[in-house]
Amino acid sequence: MKAQPKASHFIDGEYVEDTAGTVIESIYPATGEVIAKLHAATPAIVEKAIASAKCAQKEWGAMSPTARGRILKKAAEIMRERNRELSELETLDTGKPIQETIVADATSGADSFEFFGGIIATALNGSQIPLGGDWAYTKRVPLGVVVGIGAWNYPQQIACWKGAPALAAGNAMVFKPSEMTPLGALKIAEILIEAGVPKGVYNVIQGDRDTGPLLVNHADVAKVSLTGSVPTGRKVAAAAAGSLKHVTMELGGKSPLIVFDDADMESAISGAMLGNFYSTGQVCSNGTRVFVHKAMKDRFLARLKERTEAIIIGDPQDEATQMGPMVSWAQREKVLGYIEKGKAEGATLVTGGGIPNNVSPSKGAGEGYYIQPTVFADVTDDMTIAREEIFGPVMCVLDFDDEAEVIGRANATEFGLSAGVFTADFSRAHRVVDQLEAGTLWINTYNLCPVEIPFGGSKQSGFGRENSAAALEHYSELKTVYVGMGKCEAPY
Ligand code: NAD
């Protein structure tokens, strides 16, 4: 098989198999072909991974931050050297076009190891607190064994965005990728060993919704960081609360993107397309509710239609392809269902709306899970497609004519992951983003998430932050030491 790894799991520095686990088939979404067969972790594998992490964390956490950082930066270097190989694997795992994976996946993971490797020598410093004679100091200490659970849209990036800050802060990790995309994380684990990370510090085990709880409920796990849907987030947070584990929740969204009539229209359309069609629309922070000022609506839609219909859909391994298939048959079915709901509830279909029949050139690409990039106009706030996360290339365009009105409508959702504003008026841009309820916001651009800036959601989209120095706070805790300089006095 094209992408068969040596074994399903990577524990204590080596590949490990346990064929008693349920079979997980890795399917190449462009052809429907099975490219690897793996096994979900059995309870014995889960125990082995957690025991290995627990043991390895002591040595790793005791190393100087500079020494840990040097190793993580080496991992970033190896990832960059192997970017082509990693990107090709990510394309097989997800169906995303190589044009994207070559710039957005392993490279973003490498940035993460480089950034956290570079900042930990100072970012973990504590403070000294004078108390008038007595004094205190704080230390930032690792949590211990942390669990990462990934979604299928950015498998390598998620494995690194969780692994890099966790390891930088001195923790050991057990990472479970999504059962849809099991391959990439194994390579990251291999590279970390090659870079010098001690065995057991970063382990990967496979599994699905039945495996996740074995990790979340384990007594030796101190924290769980999940990237996934809101319903899964609720379950994982509830389970973690049972034993008071730390949690980071990177969940779904239905983010608003507001285009005022003074905006640079081409730029706003680029933002809307990036925020709806990149990765075949499978991006959590997508600006799927595009509010366009009535004065610009007709021009905006005409040009958006033209540019959307020019998107090159096809073989993900062809460098010219701009849009690949969806990750799975089931996900495409779900998205097609939403498209039908949009039509039935009265939205105007501007373009797309089904399965493309001209996907070419590709060996077998026609059998893949392709879908047309779709734009609906005249969408109203109460329609299903305006309320629920679709997680596919379906853009909803809504009209507005008043700033206060659009802010209220943009916020009228349980989600709060991201938001964006396009306008030439900078005071308005800042005034509006100030009132939008979201964790990550963009002005005159969309969906850019460099490692230097915090990323994460509010409301039902989650809590905790990934990336930036802020992520280290979520993978460590403060230890405070009060130092008595005189005699200890008691009233009795
Ligand atoms: P999902 O919620 O179905 O699964 C996510 C992960 O959780 C998988 O690894 C799955 O095996 C595991 N899981 C499922 N049930 C579990 C349980 N009870 N206990 C422990 N683990 C469990 O999500 P998905 O379909 O893989 O990904 C799509 C979703 O992820 C979308 O909602 C999207 O918005 C969200 N997402 C969010 C971000 C972000 O950073 N906010 C990024 C990417 C994707």
What is the 244 CA–ligand 1 centroid distance (Å)? 21
Atom of ligand 1 nearest to the CA of 154: 43
466 given a catalytic annotation: yes
User: CA torsion sign, 51 to 52 to 53 to 55?
Assistant: positive
* pLDDT score, position 357: 81
Question: Does 250 participate in catalysis according to the annotation?
Answer: yes
Residue 2's pLDDT band, with cuts at 50, 70 and 90, is: confident
* Residues whose CB falls within 8 Å of the CB of residue 187, separated by 6 or more in sequence, listed in order: 86, 89, 156
Q: What is the pLDDT of residue 366?
A: 52
- Work out the angle at residue 227's Cα, subtended by the Cα atoms of residues 222 and 230, and round it to the nearest 5 degrees: 105
Rounded to 10 degrees, what is the CA torsion of 342, 344, 346, 349? 50
Predicted pLDDT at 363? 46
Give the residue carrying structure tokens 């391994």: 317
Residues 209, 220: Cα–Cα separation, whole Å:
20
In this predicted structure, what is the pLDDT of residue 128?
97
What is the model's pLDDT at position 31? Answer: 92
Residue 364 has pLDDT above 70, yes or no: no
Residue 150 above 70 pLDDT? yes
Rounded to the nearest angstrom, the distance between the alpha carbon of 422 and the centre of ligand 1 is 30
Span 391-415, mean pLDDT?
A: 98
**Active site residue: 250, 254, 437, 459, which one?**
250
Check pLDDT > 60 for residue 362: no
Q: Give the number of residues written for the chain.
A: 492
pLDDT at position 4 over 90: yes
Contact status, residue 94 vs residue 86, Cβ threshold 8 Å: no
Whose alpha carbon is nearest atom 40 of ligand 1? 250
Structure tokens at 126: 């504590």
* Average confidence (pLDDT) over 302-323: 97
Q: Which residues contact 223 (CB under 8 A, 6 or more apart)?
A: 143, 144, 146, 147, 171, 245, 246, 247, 248, 474, 475
Q: Which atom of ligand 1 is nearest to the CA of 176?
A: 9
> How high does pLDDT run on average in the chain?
96
Please check the confidence at residue 481 and state whether its pLDDT lies above 70: yes
Contacts of 95 by beta carbon, 8 Å cutoff, 6+ apart: 28, 29, 30, 280, 316, 324, 325, 326, 327, 368, 369
36-40, 119-123, 196-200, 280-284: least confidently modelled range: 119-123
What percent of the chain is helix, strand and coil (3-state, nearest 5)? 40, 20, 40
Q: How far is the CA of 401 from the centre of ligand 1 (A)?
A: 36
Pocket flag, ligand 1, residue 334 (CB < 6 Å):
no
Residue with tokens 């979340």: 216
**Residue 356: predicted pLDDT:** 92
When pLDDT is averaged across residues 230-250 and rounded to a whole number, the result is 97
Cα angle value 234/208/30 (rounded, 5°):
110
What is the average per-residue pLDDT within 122-142?
Answer: 96
Pocket test for ligand 1, best of 38, 218, 227, 245 (most atoms within 8 A of CB): 227
What pTM does this model have?
Answer: 0.97
Beta strand 476-483 with 135-142 is antiparallel
Residues 187 and 74: beta-carbon distance below 8 Å: no
Distances from the Cα of 239 to the Cαs of 40, 175, 176, 247, 474, in angstroms? 21, 17, 17, 10, 18
> Of all atoms in ligand 1, which is nearest to the CA of residue 207?
11
Per-residue pLDDT, averaged over 358-365, amounts to: 50
CB of 99 shorter than 6 A to ligand 1: no
Answer yes or no: are the C-beta atoms of 388 and 406 closer than 8 Å. Answer: no
Ligand 1 near 105 CB (within 6 A): no
- Please tell me the distance between residue 67's alpha carbon and the centre of ligand 1 in angstroms: 33
What's the whole-number mean pLDDT along residues 305-321? 96
19-44 core/surface letters (b: 16 or more CB in 10 A; e: else): eebeebebbbbbbebebbebbbbbee
Q: Is 321 in the pocket of ligand 1 (CB under 6 A)?
A: no
Q: Is the CB of 151 under 6 A from ligand 1?
A: yes
What 3-state class would DSSP assign to 103? helix
Q: Round to whole Å and give the CA distance between 272 and 275.
A: 5
Q: Check whether 241 has a pLDDT greater than 50.
A: yes
Q: Say if residue 224's pLDDT is above 60.
A: yes
Reading across the β-sheet that carries 440-443, which strands appear in turn? 348-351, 374-377, 394-400, 289-293, 256-259, 418-422, 440-443
Read off φ and ψ for residue 418, nearest 5 degrees.
-140, 175
The fraction of the chain above a pLDDT of 90, given in percent, is 97
Mean per-residue pLDDT, 247-255: 98
Q: Which helix (H) or strand (E) holds 59?
A: helix 43-62
212 lines ligand 1 (CB under 6 A): yes
Protein residue closest via CA to atom 35 of ligand 1: 228
| Percentage of residues of the chain with pLDDT beyond 70 | 98
Q: What does the pLDDT read at residue 359?
A: 67
At 490 the pLDDT is 96
